Amino acid sequence: MLEDIFQSPTSVSLFGVFVALLLLHLLYSSFSSQKRPEPLGPRPLPVFGNLFQVDLKRLDQSLFNLSKTYGPVFQVYFGPKKVVVLAGYRTVKEALLNQAEEFGNREITPLFYDFNQGHGIVFSNGDSWKEMRRFALTTLRDFGMGKKMSEEIIIEECGYLIKEMEQYGGEAFNNTQAINYAASNVISALMFKKRFEYKDPVFQTMVEKDNETIRLTGSVSIMIYNLCPWLGPFLKNWRDMMKNIEANKAHLRKLISDLKETLDPEICRCFVDAFLIQKKHLKDFDEKSSHYHDENLLYSVMNLFAAGTDTTATTLKWGLLYMAKFPHIQDRVQEELSRVVGSRQIQTEDRKNLPYTDAVIHETQRFANIGPLAIPHKTTRNVTFQGYFIKKDTTVFPLLTSVLYDENEWESPHSFNPSHFLDDEGKFIRRDAFMPFSAGRRACLGESLAKMELFLFFTSLLQRFHFTPPPGVPEDELDLKPVVGMTLAPKPQQLCAVRRR
């Protein structure tokens, strides 16, 4: 039969064309692969990828270790899903700042879609994200984010937090809830023009459900869910998270509804008011008007409330734990506070005269490394990066652990060392590799507020209390191993807040 086919001139011609095209394709593929090499990485297994080569319970450390073998740009497979990992300060900076557009999209995992349905600020892309982020930045700045107005809100909340700690009379207690409530009240004041009592059961439930959701987000079962979304209803952690999210959405809808009923377009009280007034002002034919709908308002508020509570509170808890763990550092902070400020209320402007204290706060952020993987990015187009070809829509992990612990940037990255931020004369110095808020288009939009909160809460507490382990517990036994979730939080443990004389 083959002989019959090849005896036909037309068939021979077609066959010749087919062979020529096949050869050209092979040559092009070979040339293209040489010209556009993809990042290296460990050899993946069918179906499972590299899941057996990483520790999902501490993924950032596993990836950091792999970077030492495969370099600052490498790829791993989570099941069939390819992820490019960026490691080290220079590589992460080059991607997020120098090629911000190409690496600027958010990876919307199944879980992140569950969170926001594509709306809001943190887990969205495109024009809606751009408009919501722009609006949030502008509005929060108008309400004094990082300025005098927010300073007054934080100082007032410092007073409530100090009273809460004073009631224990120097005895050991777990400070987790009080610090969570204090940080949450600051963002609540900006969102709703409202402060909640720490014993308010609805407020307590909202904050605790947010904290639990952030913790569960980093669990192994949720990582598996992102690979196999059909497993969701069978996973307890996923079911618990969905219940938490629905409960908090109901609470936030009620707060938004109350503000709608009392809205005066001439008086803007808070973020929600600003959104509603903007919605009224935009004409139907304005292209921006389509973004100002109830779902974008709800999910933007959810994003800001959760992020504004967790990151600041978690960092502050680490800071107090480090002070109890390293009493000689705490002593130096308190000596500087007493010498420079005395007993008066600390102001943000005092920071410039408190270099050692400022260095300790920055070192707390670096060493605690609470957002080790950042929130995953996705490439917006095909990109060549450090000689490697990365396709459009590839998931990218900017590994912040590798930035904050980069041995080429920090003198002693694995030690708590405030000298990282001090020069030889004891003056505070900024470090380029200090990147706890990420960088570029997706950097934390509440960075200035978070910095002010950390400074005022930390100094106000250290001004009044000396933090120690519980009686009979030596400093060496305080556990610095984190609880791994979407962020790295300290294990719940008791400390004593002893009133200073």
Quick one: which H or E segment has residue 467? strand 465-468
The verdict on whether residue 228 carries a ligand-binding annotation is no
Three-state DSSP string of 250-283? HHHHHHHHHHHHCCECCECCCHHHHHHHHHHHCC
**Can you say whether the dihedral through the CA atoms of 454, 457, 459, 465 is positive or negative?**
negative
Other C-beta atoms closer than 10 Å to the C-beta of 274 total: 18
Q: Is 485 left (phi over 0), alpha (psi -120 to 50) or beta?
A: beta
Give the largest Cα separation in the chain, rounded: 106
Cβ contact 295:196 at 8 Å: no
d(CA 119, CA 136): 14
Cβ contact 244:302 at 8 Å: no
Name the token pair of 464.
């009044």
Name the token pair of 270.
């808070």
Find tokens 């190409």 and name the residue.
102
d(CA 120, CA 133): 8
Determine the 3-state secondary structure of 11 from DSSP: helix
Name the token pair of 358.
């400022």
**Can you say whether the dihedral through the CA atoms of 116, 121, 126, 132 is positive or negative?**
positive
Question: CA–CA distance from 190 to each of 147, 150, 308, 446 (Å)?
Answer: 13, 8, 10, 12
Three-state DSSP string of 19-85? HHHHHHHHHHHHHHHHHCCCCECCCCECCCECHHHCCHHHHHHHHHHHHHHHCCEEEEEECCEEEEE
Cβ contact 70:41 at 8 Å: yes
Hey, what's the torsion of the CAs at 284, 288, 293, 299, to 10 degrees?
A: 180
Residues of each annotated binding site for heme: 444
Residues of each annotated binding site: 444
